[in-house]
Amino acid sequence: MIRSSKTWQVAAMASVAGLVLSACGTTDTDGGGDASGEDCNFKIGVMGALSGANASIVLPSVDGAELALNQWENDECEVTLEKFDTEGDPAKATPVATQIAGDDTFIGVIGGAFSGETRATKSIYNDAGVTMVSQSATATDLTQEDPVEVFHRLVPYDDYQGAAIANYLTDEVGASKVFVVDNSEAYGEPLADRVEETLGDAMVQRDKTEVGQTDFAPTISKMESAEPDAIFYGGYIAEAAPLLKQIRDAGIEAPFVGGDGLYGADFGNAVGAAGEGAVVMCPCAPIEEDSTFAADYEEEFGSAPGAYAAEGYDAMSVFLAALDDGARTREDVEAFVDDYTGEGLSKEIAFDENGDVPQENVSYWAYKNEGGTLVPEVEVTP
Amino acid sequence: MDFDALISGLDRHTLDGITRGSIYALVALGYTMVYGVMKLINFAHSEVFMVGTWAVLGVYTVLGVGAGESLGIVIAATLLALVGAMVASAGTALAVERIAYRPLRKKGAPPLIFLITGIGCSMVLVELFGQVFEVFFGPPFGRVTVNIPSVLETKELFTIPGIDLTITNTRVIIIVGAVLMMLALDTFVNKSRLGRGVRAVAQDPDTASLMGVNQNRVIMLVFVLGGAMAGVAALLYTIQYDITKFDIGFIIGLKAFTAAVLGGIGNLRGALVGGLLLGIAEVYASTIWSSEWANVTAFVVLVVVLMFRPTGLLGESLGKARA
Amino acid sequence: MSQIFDTIRGFSIRDRIAQAPNWARKVGMLLVIAFAFYLPFLNILPFAYVRTDLTSRGSDWASVLFLVVVYMIVAVGLNVVIGFAGLLDLGYVGFYALGAYSIALFGSPSSPVVEALQNRFGLSETWAVPFAMCIPIAIAMSLIAGVILGAPTLRLRGDYLAIVTLGFGEIIRITARNLDNVTNGATGITNVPTPPGPETDGRAFFNTVDAERWYWLALTILIIIIWLAFRLEHSRVGRAWLAIREDEDAAAIMGVAAFKFKLWAFAIGASVGGLAGLLFGSKQQYVEPNAFMVNLSFLFVAMVVIGGSGNIYGVLLGAFLLTYLPERFREFQEWRPFAFGVALVVVMILRPQGLVPSRRRAREFEDRKVEAEEAAADV
């Protein structure tokens, strides 16, 4: 411990001076934002919840994008993938979007991963002409009610998903009394609404729960009196796990079906024994046998490809194809992506005028939880 | 609005509410004891509970037990998990006191400062399990939901004839466990020598010091006891819900704190009354409307009760309890 | 560590400012304000290192500055409640949310409320309450909410007030999320209006790209609010708060109507919070309930307490540090919350009176410290 305050003053002065001097040495304060169109030196941003409770639904797609970039072969161009953590929070996403929009070397954005942050940022990107290709934002209004020029997505929207899930419930499961539960959040509620609409009379009761809830006793007792022959839950893994456990503990054996919010490598681990046989519906086709994607992914990141890994890969591939095609400006990229057609990992990629993949290209799959892993069960259409 | 569902299954819903409230009540004890003695809201207490659930997982993992073990192993493993959770939670509570509160107490800082260090500690603990441990030890730590094996499986014990109410073993354990712990703590505080010290400090710290009560030791004792109760709650929670996660403490802590205030903060029996009332109110509201209104109901009940009884249902009185 | 603080205290900037002639203080103040307005363009080494967009993974500097200033407004408002009146409000985010929702509900052509008004009065589909009208609505709504919350609860003692206000914040958020046909529920409301302004470069003056304009707007409002807060502190009301804070019973005996003045503090604090929320919602152009989680309330309280509860400069510093630092150090990504928690504990232990304590508060604190030492000596 230095006792004298004089000594401290000197030390403080010296360190401040040191900082100033060392600071003078470096330059570039412009976010590295020198546009260098001719050199083909570009950045692609990816924004989403890279930390926080829902990161496990986003991180695999980021890894997928990185894999696509690593496998890309192009001598002319230098592309870097810049990752932006928004924690899935729209308020944190807007400064990120403004930053990307203001830096001309960004020619595209993969994301937003969630619908809320996409809603908050799409007008920023639109103003700046930055093309967005989302790997997982499914809210209907993003393209149907309030479309913007630059927004594209590789997943079908809630209306489609809800209808597909409802068809699975009635046709594959053969249910006529479905109990629909949602998590009251921007993801679960609209999805459950669409399921409810399509089910019509085949829905016996609807209940709403909360994010962070663990005790579902009121929901369980409603189920007991409704005696459903299938249960649909629109929400995330953290709540699905205790819900499933309590359903099974109460002796309700009806099949449990969840939306793509449950799709993730940690689903099996979280639900444990109670989740055996639970079904997760996802607009993500199983990766074809002859593709090396799964193996490559595992080699690169040490785990099997998780939720939307293939979509992340595809999104990056679309941008890289644009550069291969000679696109060098944001306008070029936007024009290229709008007209893009090609065989992707997840599906046959094309975008309609709203930025959605045409419905005939979408494949929607049911995955069954068997011994802790999600195994593709059957393809469904709305 | 479905009042019929509430009335027709009133017994069942009440039982559900009591089950939910029992866990609130046990966690509420920690808030109440600390408040009673130090007039301080221990914001890190929710994380003390969270650490307990991880301890349960740790004990099960070390023992290598899962579902479907024989009765003897189930009992032994559960008891070991109970001890593990109580020790881990009490240890955490003690550490929080040492690191975040004691230095401030020495400086005589105003209560607001304790609140901020409490929030800080809470964030640190959450991040330890959600981030730091993941980096150092990998799974199961991290930000994902983790399953805890149902060593103690739910089985139907009996059905109450006449009203057709099925009682399961987990329910019995949770409710009986909570009430037993509460009684034990109440007896300890009211009857034992150490408990008298606690009450003395709660009543008048200065006089208690003059009478030879070691204030620091009493405060440590209070944190240990509150922490141990949170550990019990953690075990009961894992038995009922089978999961843990880095951030599960927050909501339980919020509810438990509400329960403590509802019953009269500083009052042990108040914690029980407040916890049960809160649990029942939430379940009733969830039945009439749906669970999305449960939290609003909880807080509305709190405001209404406080308007008519400004110090909670039973009043605040750790010191005055049978003084 | 504490020696560093002693050193800083040794400079006694405050005394020097106090001794400086009046004109020098005014010029100094103007310089500070001018510098604040210039800040978005600050790009001279080495000072440019404060910018948050140095790496391509950073976040937009002007947007961050805007958020910092909005939180500064929040901190000044909350300081009226906590610092001046000594009331612990853990639900301040509720007022912030009300402000944001007021402008969204009444100003956005796609909000259910506006749509209902359109249908009721046969207005066109693009009609909405003009921005200028939304400001008094937002302030009025949060002010009324402050009074409604305060009237029954302000008779409660400090810690009870804390949990009740916390509950209030949650009630606001959950209600906004659940009332689907009023607030669009969890989906939130888009097309929140921006302030009117001349069209530049083919865009509205307040658009999503030029964040510095938003920053200047917020800064102007902040300066006005700071000025008002200073006037308030030294007014009759301010002195009443001080009396209540130090000894409520004594104040009551001297004829200070404690309840009335507490309610004033609550209402004033609430309306400032609402105004900050309005700015946030308007800049964001999108309002959704999850932006108003209870953690934000804790952050607000932390800003006030860390900075130095009761001192306006202190809370400004607190708001600046707690908003700016996590954005400046984005590269540490997931480690930021952990560091934040550690920082809260360490700073509070080393400097329980806050970074820039209010003089009055520091003296109150010294009193307590002496008492604590005496008590410790007794043991």
Token pair of B300 as six digits: 């509305």
Q: Residues C22-42: what's their mean pLDDT? A: 89
Judged by average pLDDT, the poorest of A259-273, A284-298, C160-174 is A284-298
* Neighbouring residues of B51: CB distance < 8 A, sequence distance ≥ 6: B88, B89, B92, B125, B129, B234
Confidence of residue C5 (pLDDT cuts 50, 70, 90): low
How confident is the prediction for chain B on average, in pLDDT? 90
Residue A106's SS3 state is strand
What is d(CA A351, CA A132) in angstroms, rounded to the nearest whole number?
Answer: 12
What is d(CA C242, CA C233) in angstroms, rounded to the nearest whole number?
Answer: 9
Residue A129, phi then psi, degrees to nearest 5: 75, 25
Please report the pLDDT score of residue A290 as a whole number.
67
A35 within domain boundaries: no
A8 within domain boundaries: no
Give the gyration radius of chain B's Cα atoms: 20
Question: Has residue C148 got a pLDDT over 60?
Answer: yes
Please report the pLDDT score of residue B130 as a whole number.
87
Please report the pLDDT score of residue A23 as a whole number.
41
Mark whether A63 and A91 lie in a shared domain: yes
Query: How many residues would you count in chain C?
Result: 379
**Which chain A residue shows the shortest CA-CA distance from C211?**
A98
Task: Output the domain CATH number for residue A277.
Answer: 3.40.50.2300
A373 within domain boundaries: yes
Which run of H or of E encompasses A366? strand A364-370
Residue whose C-alpha is closest to residue A152's, from A362, A312, A358, A338? A338
Residue by residue, DSSP assigns A269-281 as HHHGGGGTT-EEE
B22 touches chain A (CB under 8 A): no
Give the residue carrying structure tokens 């693009």. Answer: C126
Amino acid, res. B141: F
A79 within domain boundaries: yes
**Which chain B residue shows the shortest CA-CA distance from C353?**
B109
How close C60 comes to chain A (CA, Å)? 4
Q: Which of A58-72, B143-157, C152-166 has the highest mean pLDDT?
A: A58-72
Residue B9, phi then psi, degrees to nearest 5: -115, 35
B314 touches chain A (CB under 8 A): no
Q: Residues A349-355: what's their mean pLDDT? A: 90
Mark whether A301 and A339 lie in a shared domain: yes
Mark whether A105 and A222 lie in a shared domain: no
Mark whether A238 and A374 lie in a shared domain: yes
C181-184 own/partner pairs: CB under 8 Å, 24+ apart:
C181/C112, C182/C105, C182/C112, C182/C113, C183/C101, C183/C105, C183/C111, C183/C112, C183/C289, C184/C111, C184/C112
Please report the pLDDT score of residue A21 as a whole number.
41
Count how many domains chain A has.
Answer: 2
Question: Has residue A116 got a pLDDT over 90?
Answer: no
Please report the pLDDT score of residue C374 as a whole number.
62
Mark whether A180 and A199 lie in a shared domain: yes
Confidence of residue A36 (pLDDT cuts 50, 70, 90): very low
Number of neighbours of residue B167 by Cβ within 10 angstroms = 14
What confidence tens digit (pLDDT) does each residue in B79-132 have? Answer: 999 999 999 999 999 999 999 999 998 888 888 889 899 999 999 999 999 889
Please report the pLDDT score of residue C8 as a whole number.
52
With CB atoms and an 8 Å threshold, state whether A105 touches C63: no
What interface predicted TM-score (ipTM) does this complex get?
Answer: 0.90
Mark whether A71 and A132 lie in a shared domain: yes
Please report the pLDDT score of residue B220 as a whole number.
93
What is d(CA A257, CA A280) in angstroms, rounded to the nearest whole number?
Answer: 6
Please report the pLDDT score of residue B317 as a whole number.
64
Q: Residues C28-33: what's their mean pLDDT? A: 90
What is d(CA B116, CA B123) in angstroms, rounded to the nearest whole number?
Answer: 11
A91 within domain boundaries: yes
What is d(CA B219, CA B197) in angstroms, rounded to the nearest whole number?
Answer: 10
Burial class (CB in 10 A: 0-12, 13-18, 19+), A146: middle
| Contacting partners of chain B (3+ CB pairs under 8 A) | A, C
What confidence tens digit (pLDDT) does each residue in C88-138 have? Answer: 899 999 999 999 999 999 999 889 999 999 999 888 888 889 999 999 999
Which residue from A52, A210, A214 is facing B143, i.e. has the nearest CB? A52
A58 within domain boundaries: yes
Mark whether A233 and A375 lie in a shared domain: yes
Which residue from C46, C56, C207 is facing A43, i.e. has the nearest CB? C56
With CB atoms and an 8 Å threshold, state whether C352 touches B107: yes
Mark whether A257 and A368 lie in a shared domain: yes
Mutate to test the interface with B, among A85, A215, A269 (most CBs of B within 10 A): A215
Amino acid, res. B84: G
What confidence tens digit (pLDDT) does each residue in B255-295 have? Answer: 999 999 999 888 888 999 999 999 999 999 999 999 999 99
**Which ranges of chain A does DSSP label H, i.e. alpha helix?**
5-25, 55-71, 90-102, 115-128, 158-167, 188-199, 217-226, 237-249, 267-271, 293-301, 309-324, 330-339
How confident is the prediction for chain A on average, in pLDDT? 84
Chain C residues in contact with A196 by the CB 8 A cut-off are none
**Which chain C residue shows the shortest CA-CA distance from A96?**
C59
Mark whether A138 and A79 lie in a shared domain: yes
Confidence of residue A26 (pLDDT cuts 50, 70, 90): very low
User: Could you tell me which residue, A108 or C363, shows the higher pLDDT?
Assistant: A108
What confidence tens digit (pLDDT) does each residue in C182-203 have? Answer: 998 888 898 899 998 888 777 7
Mark whether A123 and A173 lie in a shared domain: no
Mark whether A96 and A236 lie in a shared domain: no
Confidence of residue A19 (pLDDT cuts 50, 70, 90): very low
B108 touches chain C (CB under 8 A): yes
What is d(CA B61, CA B306) in angstroms, rounded to the nearest whole number?
Answer: 44
A98 within domain boundaries: yes
With CB atoms and an 8 Å threshold, state whether C209 touches A116: no
A1 within domain boundaries: no
Question: Has residue B6 got a pLDDT over 70?
Answer: yes
What confidence tens digit (pLDDT) does each residue in C291-310 have? Answer: 898 889 999 999 999 998 88
Confidence of residue A14 (pLDDT cuts 50, 70, 90): very low
| Contacting partners of chain A (3+ CB pairs under 8 A) | B, C
With CB atoms and an 8 Å threshold, state whether B292 touches A225: no
Please report the pLDDT score of residue A305 as a whole number.
80
With CB atoms and an 8 Å threshold, state whether A56 touches B143: yes
CATH number for the region C58-378 comes to 1.10.3470
Percent of chain A clearing pLDDT 90 (strictly above) = 39
Structural domain containing residue A187: 159-282+364-380
Mutate to test the interface with B, among C159, C165, C378 (most CBs of B within 10 A): C159
With CB atoms and an 8 Å threshold, state whether C327 touches A32: no
